[in-house]
Amino acid sequence: MISAEAVSDHSRPGRICQGQIIILIAIVLALGKFILPESLIRPPNWLVWPFADWINWLFDFIKDDLGFIFVTRAFAAGIEWLLDVTANLLYGRNRWPRLGPLPWTFIAITAAMIGYWLNGWKLALLSGGTFVWIAVMGQWKWAMETLSVIVVAAPIAVLAGLLCGIAAWRHRWVERALNPILNIAQSLPHFAYMIPVVVFIGVGPKSGAIVTIIFAAPPMIRMTLLGLKKVSSEIAESGMMSGANRWQLLWQVRVPSARTEILVGINQVIMQCLAMVVLASFIGMPGLGQKLLQLLQALKIGRSVEIGVSIVLIAIMLDQCSKAWVVKEPKHFEKGVPWHERHRLKLLWAGLSCLAFLAAEFLPLADQIKRTQALTVYKQIDTVVERFIILADPVTQWLRGFLIRNVLIPMRDVYLWLPFTAVLAFVAGIGWVIGSLRSALICLAFVGMIAMTGWWDRAVITTYMVSFAVLVVIAIGLPLGIWASRARARARLVLLICDTAQTFPSFIYLIPVVMLFGVNDVAAIGAVIVFGLVPMTRYTIEGLRSVPPEIDEAADMCGAAFRQKLWKVRFPLALPTIAVGLNQTVLFSLFMVIIAAFIGTQDLGQEMQRALSSTDVGKGLVLGLCVAFIGLLVDHLILTWSARRKVALGIS
Amino acid sequence: MADGSETVISCRDVWKLFGNHPERYFASIPSGHNFDDIRNDGYIAAVRSASLEISRGEMLVIMGLSGSGKSTLVRCLSRLLEITAGEVIVEGNDLSALSEKELIELRRSKMGMVFQSFGLLPHRTVLNNVAFPLEMRGQDRIERRKRALEMIELVGLTGREDYYPRELSGGQQQRVGIARSLAIEPDIWFLDEPFSALDPLIRREMQDEFLRLQGILGKSIVFITHDFDEALRLADRIAIMKDGLIEQCDKPDQIVLNPATPYVAKFTEEIEKSRVVHVSHLVAEPSGDIAEMEPVSASATVRSLARRLISDASEELPVVDEQGAVIGVLKRQSALELLYGERS
Ligand SMILES: Nc1ncnc2c1ncn2[C@@H]1O[C@H](COP(=O)(O)OP(=O)(O)OP(=O)(O)O)[C@@H](O)[C@H]1O
Ligand SMILES: [Mg+2]
């Protein structure tokens, strides 16, 4: 390890010097703030360009002058028609085909059968049980409102992503054009997507569906491209030699051979859809998300927990089912297996469904459970929570006061105090130290753009909240990961928890913190910390556990004690992986800070909420891009560092 | 073997370079640049100036070390790769001038190929893999199935029609690849190490089967192998490649007896020559009376005469051709030299 460090340091001494000089300049600028002219402290007026107005102008032009609004209206009408169909089937909205609502028993049985087909009994229990819980707790209508949008949005997002991915695979220029768009899209906060959709389509379920489609398609594009690139050339060639034309080659050879990646893409699309559908409550999307939002704002913890459990169950179910689908390979039946054996599951499903419909005919409870008939445990939850809060209150009160007074406000003030030129120089210097002149310029561009938007102070507040949260996450996640990685079973368990927690829509994380801290800054940061802890812990464990055993053994043979081995051998080797985790933590935190805005923060997120409620596209997009630039800056720095580190260590 | 006159594939001066701008580089390539010089310029010369002719019913075996460009050459002959320079003519048509449609038509009706790493479609059963070329051709379902089942039986996989490739062993997968390439009854058959994953027993069986098929069907075959024994059993001619260059392309006897380059000599050094060389290549003018002696056939290998050569002390043995006419003598001395090496 020591030699690797030496090599990597020796190879570019010049760059380090230049970078360090620039950092030094930054420090000098910061220390000499009191003699700096005002224009070097805050971005001066001439530097702030009216991007928002330009974007608004552009949108107006596209919308009205180019008549694009008719295109989007037509598209929205198509989506609305589909939504009406699913809404009718799932919760009986009075639209064509007017068959619904389907009895809840039928849907639960179907879900259980799908679970069984994909991965046996456990998954059948999970998927069936989820629907039973939802029905019994009287949340059927809300859950179906949410699901009816996912059922429409996910397939469209998959299809759109697949087609874009194929186009990108076929034409280099499409890939080149898409790449930066996808990068920004992935670090753009959810709300930034919503505002343009509201402008073009308005509020309600159909805009919820459309924003979901737009939000969920990017990972599908990525995975399709990856999968198609990975198809071995020999498989494609064997297709060509079989006389397949281009169309046949694509759809019968290449796409099916990229099955695994495409299915992973579908899994990601479904999870993104769920995350977005819940959040789309901000633009008037009814369903579980909206209920949760209302209940949280009214501080009705017991009811929120009930809804939260449903959302979590749905998330786990969708994730597990789509993951099982990824690994489910086709299997053959032995010769001579009779027809009814081959189609056993289908027959069973048909039989049980008939039973469900029959039962629904005669037993209203098997058809729909009304809210008045539903079970509920919110009173019990509320009493438990109240007791707990009474116990915890002194601690949380103190913690809240302490944090706000002694940590958060001073930290915020320091951040705000920094002259923007010092920040620019500092970031450029870091970029140069970690990467090269190119990195320095990229970092400079990101921060410079933020300064030019005129949202400098807000961006600084966002940065301060994220950096505080990330520091806490590192302080908790790293030791947690190290502890968990020490035993195989423990590591597996913690990884499982992390994987599961990662599938939850971010909204869920607000429930416990609101319960503990109420609606304020500390709660927001608490949610960010919980949310960001997941990737940090996960990648720490994965990094430490993936250290090659030979190296471990070699260290043992050198007589290294556990601590020595951890800090001198395993940790340096795991660091590039941990860095990737840190990167995700930062991105997650940024998203969460923005989402948490509605429980009271004063950063970019709050402004974004305002832009959303006044449907100011320009402002919303500019704010979104500010967030994206912070994310991309960190992303660039960490990934560059980690890539160099991996090369230096000879692992890839 | 059939008539040997009609040329099915001919390629002249074919080059295949891998790199950023192969055509541009090829135009500027200084003459006398060898493989390493080209590599230092950032290009890989997978095939260099290859010229070959394959006549109807002939089996050409290509040999050479790993990375010598065998697979690439075959891909050029089937236009899976666009060649950098030269021309490939298949049944009178310039391959690179064919439109996409014509090329697809040619592949659907005339060409079959077995791939080194099988290239099976992972989402299709054995049956559907074998039927795939027929499906592409638009043949109807029932016929497709019938033909595919025949092919599956031919390669001895009956009973596994409904398996998926990942449920089969390497050798079984390879046989599926062979069956698939035969499904359309191609006239021209490219085989890239088709038997490499088979165990010796099945391998031998497949070779026999292969020779039998070749006897009946008389296809034109380009066959890649690393196994000299296999080459000897199957080949009408052998081409030996090194660094993209065809060092020699000739009958097996000639390759062993008269290697064109030191590399070929080295390549064939380890081979027992007597097993390759046929008596016809050693025929000499008689110097004495040979009338009484029992003749040997011109098409026998020297190795097969070993026992006779040792027990029979006569200096010369009469050699007869297929019709039984005496065409000369086999000198005992030269035959023994071939069998046991030159006296040192
Ligand atoms: N698509 C490609 N891009 C770049 N180089 C390639 C490509 N395909 C083959 N090559 C190079 O061309 C040379 C010849 O490869 P080829 O596959 O024809 O060898 P081969 O004789 O078939 O070897 P083997 O016996 O291992 O199959 C090799 O050096 C290889 O690295
Ligand atoms: Mg090869």
**The pLDDT of residue A149 is above 90:** yes
Domain check: are A488 and A637 in the same one?
yes
Asked whether residue B292 carries a pLDDT value surpassing 80, the answer given is: no
Q: Which chain A residues touch B113 with a CB distance below 8 Å? A: 237-238, 241
Residue B63 has phi, psi (to 5 degrees) of: -125, 165
Other beta carbons within 10 angstroms of residue A227's beta carbon come to 23
Closest CA to B162 of B131, B199, B198, B135: B131
Report CB contact under 8 Å: B80, A332.
no
**pLDDT at position B35:** 87
Bridging pattern class, strands B237-242 and B59-64: parallel
In this prediction, residues B42-60 reach a mean pLDDT of 92
The structural domains of chain B, with segments of one domain joined by +, span: 275-340
**Separation between Cα atoms, residue A451 and residue A44, nearest integer Å:** 9
Same structural domain, A579 and A475:
yes
Determine the residue among A230, A232, A233, A238 to mutate to test chain B binding: the one whose Cβ has the most chain B Cβ atoms within 10 Å.
A238
For range A450-458, the mean pLDDT: 92
- A256/B105 touch (CB, cutoff 8 Å), yes or no: no
- Alpha carbons A647 and A645: distance in angstroms, whole number: 5
Answer whether A241 sits within 8 Å of B181, measured CB to CB. Answer: yes
Confidence of residue B4 (pLDDT cuts 50, 70, 90): very low
Compute the average pLDDT of residues A223-243. 95
Residues A217 and A247 in one domain: yes
Q: Which two tokens stand for residue B331?
A: 């000198």
Find chain A residues with C-beta within 8 A of B104's C-beta: 243-245
By C-alpha distance, the chain B residue nearest A256 is B123
Q: Output the furthest CA–CA distance in chain B (Å, rounded).
A: 71
- Look at ligand 1, atom 10, and give the residue with the nearest C-alpha: B46
CA A333 to chain centre: 40
Cβ atoms A26, A429 nearer than 8 A: yes
pLDDT range class, residue B299, cuts 50, 70, 90: confident
State both tokens at A484.
């968990």
pLDDT cut 70: percent of chain A above it: 97
| Chain A touched by B189 (CB under 8 Å) | no
Separation between Cα atoms, residue B152 and residue B159, nearest integer Å? 9
What CATH number does domain B275-340 carry, 3.70.10.10, 3.10.580.10, 3.30.710.10, 3.30.70.141?
A: 3.10.580.10
Classify strands B85-90 and B44-55 as parallel, antiparallel or unpaired: unpaired
Asked if B80 and A237 come within 8 Å (Cβ–Cβ), the reply is: yes
pLDDT in tens, B196-236: 888 888 888 888 888 888 888 788 999 999 988 889 888 99
What is the rounded CA–CA span in Å between residue A234 and residue B72? 12
Q: Whose CA is nearest to atom 29 of ligand 1?
A: B67
**Would you state the pLDDT for residue A3?**
41
Beta bridge partners of B111: B188
**Structure token digits, residue A175:** 């890939």
- Using the predicted structure, report yes or no on whether residue A449 has a pLDDT greater than 90: yes
Q: Does A372 touch chain B (CB under 8 A)?
A: no
Q: Which residues in chain A have their CB less than 8 angstroms from residue B132's CB?
A: 239, 242, 252
Omega before A101 within 30 of 0, i.e. cis = yes
Closest CA of chain A from B137, distance in Å: 7
Q: What is the pLDDT of residue B1?
A: 41
Q: Same domain, yes or no, for A239 and A263?
A: yes
| Beta carbons of B121 and A244 less than 8 Å apart | no
Tell whether A177 and A227 lie within a shared domain: yes
Kindly report the nearest CA distance between residue A350 and chain B, in angstroms.
26
Instruction: Tell me what pLDDT residue A609 has.
Output: 87
Residue whose structure tokens are 């800070």: A593
Of A234, A248, A256, the CB nearest to B136: A248
User: What's A94's domain CATH number?
Assistant: 1.10.3720.10
Closest CB to A332 among B105, B111, B163? B163
In DSSP terms, B108 is beta-bridged to none
Q: Tell me if B296 sits within 8 A of B330, measured CB to CB.
A: yes
Q: What tens digit of pLDDT does each residue of A416-436 get?
A: 999 999 999 999 999 998 888
What is the chain B residue with the closest CA to A249?
A: B136
Q: Which two tokens stand for residue B95?
A: 């391959």
Judge: B121–A237 Cβ closer than 8 Å, yes or no.
Answer: no
Separation between Cα atoms, residue B55 and residue A414, nearest integer Å? 85
Distance CA A489, CA A496 (A): 11
Helices (H) and strands (E) in chain A, counts: 31, 0
Q: How far A253 CA sits from the closest chain B CA (Å)?
A: 7
- Name the residue range of residue A124's domain: 104-136+340-374
pLDDT of A8 > 70? The answer is no
A158-195 confidence digits (pLDDT tens): 999 999 999 999 999 999 999 999 988 988 888 889 98
Whether residues A84 and A119 fall in one domain: no
Taking alpha carbons only, the member of A235, A392, A388, A211 closest to residue A285 is A211
What is the residue type of A643?
Answer: A
Quote the minimal CA–CA distance from A162 to chain B in Å.
18
Nearest CA to ligand 1 atom 12: B46
Q: How far is residue B2's CA from residue A639's CA, in Å, rounded to a whole number?
A: 64
In a domain, A18, yes or no: no
Could you give the angle at the alpha carbon of B21 between the alpha carbons of B18 and B22, nearest 5°?
A: 45
CA distance A373 to A17: 73
Residues A130 and A226 both lie in one domain = no
**Which two tokens mark A191?**
């709300």
Domain stops at, among A274, A289, A304: A289
Residue whose CA is closest, atom 28 of ligand 1?
B67
| B136 interaction partners in chain A (CB closer than 8 Å) | 242-245, 248
- A95 and A111 inside one domain: no
The pLDDT mean for chain A works out to 89
Same-domain pairing of A223 and A370: no
The Cα–Cα gap between A267 and A262 comes to 9
Contacts of A439 (CB under 8 A, 6+ apart): A431, A432, A636, A637, A640
**8 Å CB contact between B156 and B209:** no
Give the mutation candidate from A230, A234, A240, A242 for the B interface (greatest B CB count, under 10 A): A242
To test the ligand 1 pocket, which listed residue (B36, B62, B68, B246) has its Cβ within 8 A of the most ligand atoms?
A: B68
- What is the CB neighbour count within 10 angstroms for residue A53? 12
CA angle A108, A114, A120 (to 5 degrees): 110
How remote is the CA of residue B67 from the centroid of ligand 1, in Å? 5
Q: Which chain A residue has the Cα nearest residue B113?
A: A241
In a domain, A244, yes or no: yes
Mean pLDDT across A33-59: 88
What is residue B342's predicted lDDT score, i.e. its pLDDT?
60
Position A2 in a domain: no
Q: Do B111 and A241 touch (CB under 8 A)?
A: yes
Domain count, chain A: 3
Q: Tell me the ligand closest to B114's alpha carbon.
A: 2
Predicted local distance difference test score (pLDDT) of residue A389: 87
A75, two tokens: 């598209």
Residue B318: its pLDDT value, please? 86
Query: CA neighbours within 13 Å on the CB side: how many for A346?
Result: 5
Domain end among A225, A258, A289: A289
- Long-range contact pairs involving B25-32 (C-beta distance under 8 Å, separation at least 24): B26/B84, B26/B85
C-alpha distance from A250 to closest chain B C-alpha (Å):
13
Residue A26 lies in a domain: no
Mutation target vs B (from A230, A240, A241; most B CBs, 10 A cutoff): A241
pLDDT band with cut points at 50, 70 and 90 for residue B153: very high
Q: What is the distance between the alpha carbons of residues B285 and B185, in angstroms, rounded to a whole number?
A: 47
Size of interface A-B (CB pairs under 8 A): 83
- How large is the ipTM? 0.88
Most confident range, picked from A15-19, A480-484, B196-200, B276-280? A480-484
Atom 8 of ligand 1 has which residue's CA nearest to it?
B72
DSSP string, A383-446: HHHHHHHHHHHHHHHHHHHHIIIIIIHHHHHHHHHS-HHHHHHHHHHHHHHHS-HHHHHHHHHH
Residue B95 has pLDDT above 50, yes or no: yes
Q: Does B117 touch chain A (CB under 8 A)?
A: yes
pLDDT beyond 70 at A380: yes
Contacts of A252 in chain B (CB under 8 A): 121, 132
pLDDT-derived band of residue B5, with 50, 70 and 90 as boundaries? low
Q: Which ligand is nearest to the CA of B240?
A: 1
pLDDT band at B8 (very low <50, low <70, confident <90, very high): very high
Are residues A368 and A492 both part of a single domain? no
Say if residue A593 is in the same domain as residue A607: yes
Do A71 and A179 belong together in one domain?
Answer: yes
Which member of A234, A242, A330 has the closest CB to residue B136? A242
Per-residue pLDDT at A4: 42
**A241 shares contact with chain B (CB less than 8 Å):** yes
The average pLDDT across A135-156 equals 94
Average the pLDDT over A281-307 and give the result: 90
Residue A298: the pLDDT is 87
Q: What is the pTM of this model?
A: 0.89
pLDDT of residue A9: 45
Ligand 1 first shell, C-beta below 6 A = B 18, 44, 46, 64, 66-72, 116
Q: What is the pLDDT of residue B316?
A: 83
Q: How far apart are CA A220 and CA A177, in angstroms?
A: 16
Backbone angles phi, psi at B301, to 5 degrees: -80, 155
pLDDT number for residue A517: 84
The number of residues making up chain B comes to 344
Residue type, A321: C
Query: A589-648 pLDDT, tens per residue?
Result: 999 988 888 777 778 888 888 888 888 889 999 999 999 999 999 999 999 998 888 888
